[in-house]
Amino acid sequence: MPKYSIFVNGKTKTVEVENGTPLLWVLRDNLNLIGTKFGCGIGICGSCTVLIDGKAEKSCSVSIESVEGKSITTIEGLAENRNNPLLKAWIEVEVSQCGYCQPGQILAAAALLNENPNPSDKEIEEAMNEVLCRCGTYNRIKKAIKKVVAEK
């Protein structure tokens, strides 16, 4: 099997996987970065959202060969800084219920704020529509994002 070098959470990782393997499964099964979740496998639910060069991407629909040389951030990378304002807001607002989609939600929010530090409600909606939550945490997610924006 071919070897790939990828740059995850600030570190270079070499993995030996089949060509075409989605990044999601490399993260989960090869690198044990379990915070990235499998939800649908077709790039709709967004549970597998990670940052690739700062942009939110659905890792189930990104092949390993396409991310060589790119910088990938998973929830574990983001959580290395416990003072990350998004994580703090998520805890303060008490967003999580089952919690399964929350890493994807947080990374989608991180990408949004990277690009647009002061998003409108409509812009928040558009960005966050990419990640589904069955527990209905959407309103609290909105509150947490706005809290981060307001405290900047």
Q: Which residues bind other proteins (CB under 8 A)?
A: 1, 17-18, 21-22, 25, 28-30, 32-42, 44-45, 47, 74-76, 78-79, 82, 87, 90-91, 94-103, 106, 125-126, 128-129, 131-142
Q: How many residues does the chain have?
A: 152
Kindly report the number of other CB atoms within 10 A of residue 143's CB atom.
15
Of 55 and 98, CB closest to other proteins: 98
Q: Do the Cβ atoms of 142 and 128 come closer than 8 Å?
A: yes
Q: CB of 118: closest distance to other proteins in angstroms?
A: 18
What is the three-class DSSP state of 20? coil
Distance CA(8)–CA(68), nearest Å, equals: 10
Q: CB of 48: closest distance to other proteins in angstroms?
A: 11
Distance CA(34)–CA(25), nearest Å, equals: 10
Q: CB of 55: closest distance to other proteins in angstroms?
A: 18
Distance CA(119)–CA(127), nearest Å, equals: 10
Of 12 and 32, CB closest to other proteins: 32
Q: CB of 3: closest distance to other proteins in angstroms?
A: 13
Of 14 and 32, CB closest to other proteins: 32
Distance CA(78)–CA(33), nearest Å, equals: 12
Of 29 and 68, CB closest to other proteins: 29
Q: CB of 127: closest distance to other proteins in angstroms?
A: 9
Distance CA(144)–CA(150), nearest Å, equals: 10
